[in-house]
Amino acid sequence: MGVQSVPLDTSAEVFEVLVECWRRMTIVERVEMVSQMNSDVELLALSGIAAQRPGLSPVEIRHELARRRFGDEIADQAYQNLLA
């Protein structure tokens, strides 16, 4: 079975090698990789929010990330006791 979708910034041959590496990974290795990717994306998002809105406190930055992820209502409820 061939790769169905190749990223635009990667050749098909290189992507096939990458997919084969993923296939050889154990479930634990895959979960660890996804967890690290999630952490990396969260740090990028937090950094982006801080750069766009430099006056926000660390709690306000996290609230903004929650707002973007889950919407205003859930984020506001989750952070209602943390925001002054």
Tens of pLDDT, residue by residue over 23-79, are 999 999 999 999 999 999 999 999 999 999 999 999 999 999 999 999 999 999 999
- Residue 58: closest CA among 37, 83, 34, 78: 83
Phi, psi of 5 (to 5 degrees): -140, 120
Predicted confidence (pLDDT) at residue 1 exceeds the cutoff of 60: no
List the Cα angle 22/26/29 in 5-degree steps. Answer: 80
Q: Record the tokens describing residue 65, joined without a space.
A: 């990330």
Q: Record the tokens describing residue 48, joined without a space.
A: 């982006």
pLDDT classification of 7: cutoffs 50, 70, 90: confident
Q: Record the tokens describing residue 16, joined without a space.
A: 């096939």
